[in-house]
Structure 1
Amino acid sequence: MRTSSFLGKADVVLRGFSGYNTRWALRVLARAMEGAAAVGAADPVAVTVFFGANDTSLPDWKQVHQHVPLDEYQSNLRAICAYFKEQWPSTKIIFITPPPIYEPLRIR
């Protein structure tokens, strides 16, 4: 766990696994969040959830193992949200997802 001070007004606790998609994150979520909030401490004000870049890997490319179909991706994000809401009901959950891609311009 790495914790840093944010202008002396907030503690930022980082949890991240490079290359993970939502499917893999669900498998380790509870274990990854152990100790994120001290017993008796207030609920976090906010939690950011950043997934999508790996989930959207094309199924016919080298990273096929990272691809998650859209309906499963949606379901996984809902499960992640439900986990955080169960742990910290008053916490705001902020989802960060990849921006849309304009395919004709990308192909150039």
Structure 2
Amino acid sequence: MSRIHSRVTEAIHAGMIAGITAQLNQLGQAAGCAPLTWSIRLEDWHISGQAGAEYSDDEAAEALEAWADLLGLTAHSLAVAGTDTYHGLVDGVDIELWGVTDRDAFEQDTAPAEDRP
């Protein structure tokens, strides 16, 4: 792929993320949901919303639960300790929400093996 094609693809992807983020957070705001950081995998159109580090553990858990209720997603277990994850299909679109809800457990689980107790 040429350099210009890569830049065009990156621009399209960035525009899609910006649009998805704006539209979903506007929808969520109207329903009382806190904003999330959204991304999309172009290969399979999987959309992911993350409650980022700007939220405390409790705020992240509340934000994720509110979004899951709004979108009709169900709790989904990940192998990473200290995270909450929700998943489901919304009108045929695969959507996942996740965030760190126990920072200590998350950091311990994701630390390099030599740094673990």
Q: TM-score when scaled to structure 1?
A: 0.31
TM superposition score normalised by structure 2: 0.30
Determine which structure has greater relative contact order: mean sequence separation of CA pairs < 8 Å that are 6+ residues apart, divided by chain length: 1
Q: Which structure has more helix as a fraction of its residues?
A: 2
